[in-house]
């Protein structure tokens, strides 16, 4: 769902100072609680360091490191490959046993703090604390100039650099940069941005796009989001519910929570550094696993490492692999259709918890599955389509209000203006 207000006379927002005082009280209370036990140490990322070296530099053992990484991955996705030199993590150690880590804190951004605390049973408990943010809805309009392209045009009209890639991705499913972009083509974008203290950019979302081109057909697309932020159905669709990607692979799960990406990592079972040839998605045992495309089952078997696994060869000779299944629902040689249930998420083989290891082999070599464009469905139907219609109304209301705002200059470096409206909002606090 999209959580914002579109009332003609919005309710009075809580006093920002009071909100800040309340959230600071929560943080102070939490810090007061944890200060009773741990000895806090600052783990700072240095050049060439990954999360393992960073945490071990303050005394975290290999087993504790694997526990912390596993616990945080079950709750929030951190791009460990994107660590910045100087980035800080806090680790707390038991005062009576300074070799025992009992606290982990990670600041995703200035407004969002993630905590792990070791309880009396030895289980890591997760908590997220959010600070107030300013939500800005901004509409940008422009056209492609002679000798230019859409990406350049997005920058010229002042689309924030952090959002240019996301906006470009939303358009490119319908507007090819090689064949569909022509001088004079016009476009419109509605962004939702979150900023901390009105200046520090936190995150953004493309709520709406419109394109009117000489070759590319005129179209509108709207962001659809379910209550579960990890739903694979969260994407851009036309008002009729059609996905912008006309053809493509389907997601193997309905809910996407990545716990381990493609590439080198410390193996969660062995603790050794190894290359991970796929993507791990967290899922409860018994969750349906879908074929990402039609094809023929070339393997449906069991192995000591893979557990129950299924491999499917597709029309383009690529192969999709599904490991650690609880159950296999297809047999060798069987023909399967796209999004057919081929098994259930499990914890078989060499695995440290219920998940799906999903991999793709192209031309006999493993490739990063996240490089493939995937969709959950070519068209929303039933309750999902009805929900989209409601969200479209909300987005259109925001678009209308934003377009009626006074144009504002973006800055001295750009001869561009933007229209936007703004409101104060809290990042919800939760604990797991």
191-206: pLDDT as tens digits: 999 988 878 888 899 9
pLDDT of residue 16: 61
Whether the CB-CB separation of 403 and 420 falls below 8 Å is answered with no
Q: With 0.85 as the threshold, say if the pTM is over it.
A: no
Inter-CA distances, 93 with 15, 33, 51, 125, Å: 37, 14, 18, 15
Inter-CA distances, 314 with 252, 276, 293, 302, 362, Å: 14, 22, 7, 21, 10
Inter-CA distances, 81 with 66, 84, 262, Å: 16, 9, 11
- Pick one of 1.10.10.10, 2.40.50.100, 3.10.450.350, 2.140.10.30 as the CATH number of 37-130: 3.10.450.350
Whether the CB-CB separation of 41 and 100 falls below 8 Å is answered with no
Rg (CA), the chain: 24
pLDDT of residue 408: 87
pLDDT of residue 8: 40
- pLDDT < 70 positions in the chain: 1-37, 81, 246-247, 266, 269-272, 411-415, 426-432
> What is the full DSSP assignment across 398-420?
HHHHHHTSPPEEEETTEEEEEEE
CATH second-level architecture of 258-372? Answer: Distorted Sandwich (2.70)
- The structure tokens 């925001």 sit at 398
- Angle formed at CA 378 by CA 376 and CA 380, multiple of 5 degrees: 80
Q: What are the domain boundaries of the chain? A: 37-130, 133-247+378-431, 258-372
- The structure tokens 């951004």 sit at 109
- For residue 383, give the DSSP letter: H
Token pair for residue 13? 């927002």
Instruction: Determine what percent of the chain falls in helix, strand and coil, rounding each to the nearest 5.
Output: 20, 40, 40
- For residue 84, give the DSSP letter: P
Is residue 290 exposed (0-12), middle (13-18) or buried (19+ Cβ within 10 Å)?
buried
pLDDT of residue 6: 39
Distance between CA atoms of residues 107 and 114, nearest Å = 6
pLDDT of residue 4: 41
pLDDT of residue 415: 61
> What is the full DSSP assignment across 148-168?
--HHHHHHHTT--HHHHHHHH
Distance between CA atoms of residues 343 and 322, nearest Å = 9
CATH second-level architecture of 133-247+378-431? Answer: Roll (3.10)
Same fold, 133-247+378-431 and 258-372: no
Whether the CB-CB separation of 344 and 283 falls below 8 Å is answered with no
């Amino acid at each position: 769902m999209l959580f914002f207000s579109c009332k003609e006379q919005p309710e009075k927002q809580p006093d920002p100072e009071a909100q800040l005082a309340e959230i600071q009280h929560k943080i102070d209370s939490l810090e007061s609680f944890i200060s009773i036990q741990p000895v806090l140490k600052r783990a700072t990322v240095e050049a060439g360091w990954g999360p393992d070296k960073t945490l071990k530099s303050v005394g975290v053992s290999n087993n504790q490191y694997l526990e912390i990484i596993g616990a945080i991955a079950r709750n929030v996705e951190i791009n460990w490959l994107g660590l910045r030199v100087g980035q800080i993590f806090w680790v707390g150690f038991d005062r009576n046993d300074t070799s025992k880590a009992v606290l982990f804190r990670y600041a995703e951004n200035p407004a969002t703090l993630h905590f792990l605390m070791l309880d009396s049973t030895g289980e890591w408990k997760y908590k997220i604390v959010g600070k107030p943010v300013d939500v800005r809805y901004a509409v940008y309009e422009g056209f492609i100039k002679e000798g230019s392209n859409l990406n350049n045009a997005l920058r010229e009209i002042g689309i924030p650099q952090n959002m240019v890639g996301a906006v470009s991705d939303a358009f490119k499913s319908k507007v090819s940069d090689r064949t569909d972009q022509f001088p004079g083509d016009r476009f419109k974008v509605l962004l939702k941005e979150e900023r901390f203290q009105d200046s520090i950019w936190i995150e953004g979302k493309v709520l709406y796009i419109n394109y009117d081109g000489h070759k590319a057909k005129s179209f509108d697309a709207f962001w659809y989001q379910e209550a579960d932020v990890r739903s694979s159905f969260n994407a851009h669709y036309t008002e009729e519910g059609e996905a912008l990607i006309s053809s493509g692979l389907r997601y193997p799960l309905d809910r996407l929570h990545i716990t381990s990406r493609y590439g080198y990592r410390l193996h969660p079972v062995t603790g050794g550094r190894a290359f991970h040839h796929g993507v791990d998605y967290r899922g409860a045992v018994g969750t349906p696993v879908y074929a990402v495309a039609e094809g023929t089952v070339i393997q449906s078997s069991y192995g000591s490492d893979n557990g129950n696994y299924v491999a499917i060869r597709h029309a383009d000779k690529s192969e999709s692999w599904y490991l650690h299944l609880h159950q296999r629902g297809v047999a060798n040689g069987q023909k399967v259709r796209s999004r057919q249930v081929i098994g259930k998420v499990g914890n078989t083989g060499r695995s440290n918890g219920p998940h799906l290891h999903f991999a793709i082999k192209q031309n006999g070599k493993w490739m990063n599955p996240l490089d493939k464009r995937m969709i959950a469905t070519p068209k929303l139907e039933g309750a999902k389509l009805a929900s989209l219609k409601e969200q479209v109304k909300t987005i259109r209301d925001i678009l209308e209000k934003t377009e009626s705002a006074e144009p504002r200059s973006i800055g001295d470096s750009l001869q561009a203006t933007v229209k936007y409206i703004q409101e104060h909002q809290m990042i919800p606090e939760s604990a797991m």
